[in-house]
Structure 1
Amino acid sequence: MKTDLVRISGQKEEASKEKEMCGIESLNRQGSLDYNREDGRATLTLTLTLYNVRKIELSKAAQVFEMFEAQIHHFETRRAKKPKNSAVDLDIFVQCEVHSADVSTFISSLKRVAEDVRTSREDKVPWFPRKIQDLDKCHDLITKYDPSLDHRHPVSIISSLHYRGDPLPRIEYTAQETATWREVYRKLSSLYPTHACTQYLDAFQQLEKYCGYQENNIPQLQEVSRFLKERTGFQLRPAAGLLSARDFLASLAFRVFQSTQYIRHFSSPMHSPEPDCCHELLGHVPMLADKEFAQFSQDIGLASLGSSEAEIEKLATLYWFTVEFGLCKQNGSIKAYGAGLLSSYGELMYALSNKPEYKPFDPEATAVHPYQDQAFQPLYFIAESLEDAKAKLQNYAMKIKKPFSLHYNPFTSSIEVMNTPQKVKKTLCQMKEELKNLCLALENLS
């Protein structure tokens, strides 16, 4: 069953930053590779302090930054703590990105205009996509039958060879494949009214009405993707290979879901060892059409960007126990919202029986709980509601240690790194404008 950075360094702690500004201690951490440049060359994010720069040398320093195509994120000057040439000597604090191959020459050039140049190369953080087109680079394929790899992880997912802008391929399914779909569709849809959450049922009804969801027709990704885009902004991307957890989760940050198009073997219609279109279309798609759950899914993706391998492991496990095998309370009953349950007749029956163990959904505990991918889950986590699960996940994500904060811009489908006061202020101004419109709307309603 499928379970389906660039680092721009953040500011140091204030006390440490003051030391950098005043030249009290040298900075000696290691640098981070950045593949976000348009030309594809790796860059390093550097924190530099230039000591005792004469005012008349400022233009020469600027020429060095220009010559090496440095992208400056922060530039600050202060009167030198220990002036050597005159009372107006300056110490300059800079955060910038430079091509990694040019770093040594770049620093040597700066030393010609400053008495001393000390560097803080920031800690490494894994690359992550910042624009939706960067998902074309998220194809870290895992060889399925490599015995050296642990393929039991819940999010050894299906990858895509589809590139943004390509039309979603239309598949002509055979009569035998349609017959397999028919059997799965009939059995599962008979359970949904009593076992699925209301959000799923509402979306499933809409999919039957607008996307050709019926027992004699396997829906096409193009129609389904258009449906999702109109309702929650999610879109589908055809998949063709095992993808790392990091790359799959990153796609969720942009409201993109990796989806297979093939169908399980006709000899075993009620079970598939891999994700197939029954799992995607019957399990995932209806829930992605719900606004609350769509935000929950994107939040997991955003939390993964730039996270350590240990945090990715935890987030993948959270994904497993929620997006794949999650249960929630509704009207005094327990209902399923996880795709692994909603696309598996046997486990859906089992999950809502008196056989498994239940625990309240708590991200801290859920993220480290052992999972089972060879049989039914012995334990399921129950959310008080999808809204409550989303709030708890967001609180959990805020505790993941990163040297930066991120903001998703829905207008440009891009990730903005909030690493300067100016960027934070700009985003805040945009939010204030939206609040004004909401306040005006409330006044009109009153």
Structure 2
Amino acid sequence: QEKGINLTHIESRPSRLNKDEYEFFINLEGNNVPALDKILKSLRTDIGATVHELSRTKKKDTVPWFPRSIQELDRFANQILSYGAELDADHPGFKDPVYRARRKEFADIAYNYRHGQPIPRVTYTEEEKKTWGTVFRELKTLYPTHACYEHNHVFPLLEKYCGYREDNIPQLEDISNFLQSCTGFRLRPVAGLLSSRDFLAGLAFRVFHSTQYIRHASKPMYTPEPDICHELLGHVPLFADPSFAQFSQEIGLASLGAPDDFIEKLATVYWFTVEFGLCKEGDSLKAYGAGLLSSFGELQYCLSSKPEIQPLVLEKTSVQKYPVTEFQPIYYVAESFKDAKDKLRKFAQTIPRPFSVRYNPYTQRIEVLDNAKQLKNLADTINSEIGILCNALQKIR
């Protein structure tokens, strides 16, 4: 109090590294930088505490704040950049009071949602189901020839277990449960566009922030923003594939604590892979990007002779400029999801942050690896898994 530093939040839990110790998460507010530096130095030197300084303001050499537990996604899930219940003047539904009121209903669901709750079910109107049906019917005719194998492999399972039909809009809760049983991914309702940093952070926990609203009925083949057609037809099928799910999570893990310029690069990599990526299948090119798989026009265009096709080289891809309101003039081709994943890992090593991170699926927490004790615990875990592998190999010989 004397130094003008306020403690606004504190959490404690038993240490994962030493059962006789505790870990604390503390949020402070104040502008007295020298006093704060003195406090941190005292904690580190006088009592030997391990202190990680996290900050969104990035003063000096501090690391931008990032969520450490899956519950902390609640903190920014409602910090949307645009749309939600409000629409821009050029949005097809801007002058439609019924559509605007409907969008507010969806926004309220997302704003009130908290991790661990069932995703509220929505009773879609006949007009909304008709819009979905138009998009579903047109795209399904292209998937066998234009979509990648992984998308076509999963799509019948979504029809069987999640209610994917021309006359029915599937429920996020059913899809989330299905994905969790496949790859551990889950859906979370969101009212609109998140910042790149916040959206990518969700992927680190295998959480995909998904809209529930649908595009305006006047233009069923166009939307200026992600909607449920884009999420469920474009993104969801690939999140059920283990290799793609791992690739998506690694983009998220790479983003945690990264400087702003690298967040922009990772968001661009995401754009040209998860949203608009092409991959090789034998001698052919197929689409795996959700922006392609949810757009009847661009799905045909991307595999035509019109756009420029380049191999996926992340050092180049990550700085490529792109339009957001028209078809892409350039697409990048991955040899395979494994190839894309290997390239991402190498790219992530160039991110200037003083630690590595890993996701612990048992505690659903991010572990910051920056000291010998944590690395020993990780080595023990890996050694245990190798023991299981060796035992299994012995039994199948």
Provide the C-alpha distance between the structure 2 equivalents of 1:305 and 1:99, rounded to a whole number of angstroms.
11
Q: Does 1:178 align with 2:116?
A: no
Q: Is the contact between residue 268 and residue 319 of structure 2 (CA under 8 Å) also seen in structure 1?
A: yes
Please report how far the alpha carbon of residue 146 of structure 1 lies from its aligned counterpart in structure 2 after TM superposition.
11
Instruction: Specify the code of the residue in structure 1 equivalent to 2:272.
Output: F
Q: Does 1:130 align with 2:63?
A: no
Please report how far the alpha carbon of residue 138 of structure 1 lies from its aligned counterpart in structure 2 after TM superposition.
2.1
Identity within the alignment, %: 53
Instruction: Specify the code of the residue in structure 2 equivalent to 1:287.
Output: L
Aligned to 1:213: 164
Q: Does 1:72 align with 2:49?
A: yes
Aligned to 1:384: 335
Q: Is the contact between residue 41 and residue 99 of structure 1 (CA under 8 Å) also seen in structure 2?
A: no
1:42 alignment partner, one of 24, 28, 31: 28
Provide the C-alpha distance between the structure 2 equivalents of 1:209 and 1:194, rounded to a whole number of angstroms.
21
Please report how far the alpha carbon of residue 40 of structure 1 lies from its aligned counterpart in structure 2 after TM superposition.
5.0
Query: Gapped runs of 5+ residues in structure 2?
Result: 1-6, 13-24, 30-35, 89-106
Please report how far the alpha carbon of residue 47 of structure 1 lies from its aligned counterpart in structure 2 after TM superposition.
5.0
Q: Is the contact between residue 47 and residue 122 of structure 1 (CA under 8 Å) also seen in structure 2?
A: no
1:339 alignment partner, one of 271, 290, 298: 290
Provide the C-alpha distance between the structure 1 equivalents of 2:238 and 2:54, rounded to a whole number of angstroms.
43
Aligned to 2:364: 413
Aligned to 1:142: 81
Could you report, residue by residue, the CA deviation over 1:385-416 in whole angstroms, capped at 9, with x for unpaired residues? 11111111111112211111112111111111
Q: Is the contact between residue 160 and residue 258 of structure 1 (CA under 8 Å) also seen in structure 2?
A: no
Partner of 1:269, secondary structure, is coil
Over 3 Å off, 4+ runs: 33-40, 43-51, 96-100, 143-147
Distance 1:295 1:99, change over 3 A: closer
Please report how far the alpha carbon of residue 243 of structure 1 lies from its aligned counterpart in structure 2 after TM superposition.
1.4
Please report how far the alpha carbon of residue 42 of structure 1 lies from its aligned counterpart in structure 2 after TM superposition.
2.5
Distance 1:226 1:293, change over 3 A: same
Please report how far the alpha carbon of residue 242 of structure 1 lies from its aligned counterpart in structure 2 after TM superposition.
2.8
Q: Is the contact between residue 221 and residue 236 of structure 1 (CA under 8 Å) also seen in structure 2?
A: yes
Q: Is the contact between residue 255 and residue 298 of structure 1 (CA under 8 Å) also seen in structure 2?
A: yes
TM-score norm. by structure 1 comes to 0.73
Query: Gapped runs of 5+ residues in structure 1?
Result: 1-32, 52-60, 66-70, 74-95, 101-120, 148-157
Q: Which structure has the higher relative contact order (CA within 8 Å, separation 6+)? A: 1
Provide the C-alpha distance between the structure 1 equivalents of 2:8 and 2:257, rounded to a whole number of angstroms.
11
1:424 alignment partner, one of 362, 366, 375: 375
TM-score norm. by structure 2 comes to 0.81
The structure with the largest alpha-carbon Rg is 1
Provide the C-alpha distance between the structure 2 equivalents of 1:99 and 1:193, rounded to a whole number of angstroms.
47
Provide the C-alpha distance between the structure 2 equivalents of 1:271 and 1:306, rounded to a whole number of angstroms.
35
Please report how far the alpha carbon of residue 72 of structure 1 lies from its aligned counterpart in structure 2 after TM superposition.
1.3
Provide the C-alpha distance between the structure 2 equivalents of 1:436 and 1:178, rounded to a whole number of angstroms.
52
Aligned to 1:320: 271
Aligned to 2:183: 232
Distance 1:426 1:334, change over 3 A: same
Distance 1:246 1:401, change over 3 A: same
Q: Does 1:196 align with 2:147?
A: yes
Aligned to 1:262: 213
Please report how far the alpha carbon of residue 166 of structure 1 lies from its aligned counterpart in structure 2 after TM superposition.
2.1
Please report how far the alpha carbon of residue 211 of structure 1 lies from its aligned counterpart in structure 2 after TM superposition.
0.8
> Superposed, which structure 2 residues align to 1:26-41 within 5 Å?
37-38=11-12, 41=27
Count of residue correspondences: 345
Q: Does 1:367 align with 2:318?
A: yes
Q: Is the contact between residue 155 and residue 237 of structure 2 (CA under 8 Å) also seen in structure 1?
A: yes
1:402 alignment partner, one of 341, 353, 357: 353
Aligned to 2:97: none
Provide the C-alpha distance between the structure 1 equivalents of 2:304 and 2:163, rounded to a whole number of angstroms.
32
Provide the C-alpha distance between the structure 2 equivalents of 1:34 and 1:188, rounded to a whole number of angstroms.
50
Could you report, residue by residue, the CA deviation over 1:351-377 in whole angstroms, capped at 9, with x for unpaired residues? 000100000001110000011111100
Q: Is the contact between residue 327 and residue 381 of structure 1 (CA under 8 Å) also seen in structure 2?
A: yes
Please report how far the alpha carbon of residue 331 of structure 1 lies from its aligned counterpart in structure 2 after TM superposition.
1.6
Aligned to 1:285: 236
Instruction: Specify the code of the residue in structure 2 equivalent to 1:361.
Output: L
Could you report, residue by residue, the CA deviation over 1:201-246 in whole angstroms, capped at 9, with x for unpaired residues? 0111111111111111110001100000000000000111331111
Could you report, residue by residue, the CA deviation over 1:146-191 in whole angstroms, capped at 9, with x for unpaired residues? 99xxxxxxxxxx9952211222010000111111111111100000
